[in-house]
Structure 1
Amino acid sequence: MKLALLSDIHANVQALDACLEHAWLNGCTRFALLGDLVGYGGDPGAVMQKVMALAEDGAVLVKGNHDAMAVEPPAQSLQMGDSTARWTHEQLSAQQRSFLAALPFTATLGPCLLVHASADAPQRWRYVEDERSAGVSLEAALQQPGVRYVFGGHVHQQTLYYRGSGRGLMAFKPTPGVEIPTPGHRQWIATVGSVGQPRDGQPTAMYAVFDMEQARLCFQRVPYDHAAAAASVRRAGLPEFFARRLEEGR
Structure 2
Amino acid sequence: MKLALISDLHANREAFSAVLDHARINGAQEFALLGDLVGYGGDPAWVVDQVRELVSQGAIAVMGNHDSAIVTGPLPSMRDDARDAILWTRAQLDAAQLDFLAGLPMHHERDDCLFVHANAFDPAGYEYIQGRLEAMRSLHATHCRYTFCGHMHDPRLYHLSGTGKAGEFVPSPGVDIPLLPNRQWLVIPGSCGQPRDGNPAACYALFDMATGLLSFQRVPYDVDAAAARVRQSGLNAAVAERLAQRLLLGE
What TM-score do you get using the length of structure 1 for normalisation?
A: 0.95
Name 1:198's counterpart in structure 2. Answer: 195
Q: Does 1:187 align with 2:184?
A: yes
% identical equivalent positions: 49
What amino acid is aligned across from residue 169 of structure 1 in structure 2? A
Q: 1:63 to 1:23 in 2, by over 3 A?
A: same
Match of 1:153 among 136, 150, 153: 150
- After the TM superposition, list the runs of 4 or more consecutive aligned residues in structure 1 that deviate by more than 4 angstroms: 75-78
- Alpha-carbon distance change, 75 to 161 in structure 1, aligned in 2, over 3 angstroms: closer
Tell me how far apart the structure 1 counterparts of residues 195 and 75 of structure 2 sit (CA, whole Å).
28
Matches within 5 A, 1:199-218: 199-218=196-215
The CA deviation at 1:83 is: 2.1
Q: Counterparts of 1:57-68 in structure 2 under 5 Å? A: 57-68=57-68
Distance 1:116 1:227, change over 3 A: same
Farther off after superposition, 224-233 or 237-246: 237-246
Deviations 1:55-92 (Å, cap 9, x if unpaired)? 11110010000001112223878523222111111101
Written as runs of structure 1 = structure 2, the 5 A alignment for 1:131-170 is 131-142=132-143, 147-164=144-161, 166-170=163-167
Secondary structure, in 3 states, of the residue corresponding to 1:156?
Answer: coil
Q: Which residue number corresponds to residue 86 of structure 2?
A: 85
Equivalent in the alignment of 1:110 = 111
What RMSD in Å do the two structures reach over aligned CA positions? Answer: 1.3
1:152-189, Cα deviation, whole Å (9 max, x unpaired): 00010100001236414211111100000002221101
Pairwise mapping of residues 204-243 of structure 1 onto structure 2 (< 5 A)? 204-238=201-235, 239=239, 240-243=241-244
Q: Report the Cα distance in structure 2 between the residues aligned to 1:31 and 1:78, rounded to whole angstroms.
A: 29
Distance 2:175 2:232 in 1: 37
Amino acid across the alignment from 1:154: H
Quote how far apart the aligned CAs of 1:109 are: 2.1
SS at match of 1:214: coil
Query: Matched residues in 2 for 1:221 and 1:74: separation?
Result: 30
Query: Which letter does structure 2 place at the counterpart of 1:196?
Result: G
For structure 2, the 5+ residue unaligned runs are none
In structure 1, stretches of 5+ residues that fail to align are none
Alignment partners' CA distance in 2, 1:76 and 1:27: 41
Secondary structure of the corresponding residue to residue 206 of structure 1: strand
More divergent stretch after superposition (157-166 vs 129-138): 157-166
The answer to whether the 8 Å contact 1:192/1:207 transfers is yes
- Given residue 35 of structure 1, which amino acid in structure 2 is its aligned partner? G
Name the CA distance, whole Å, in 1 between partners of 2:188 and 2:24.
21
Give 1:36's aligned residue. Answer: 36
Alignment-derived partner of residue 127 in structure 1: 128
Query: Is this contact kept in 2: 1:77–1:83, CA < 8 A?
Result: no
Q: 1:30-77 deviations in whole A, cap 9, x for unaligned?
A: 000000000000100011111111111110010000001112223878
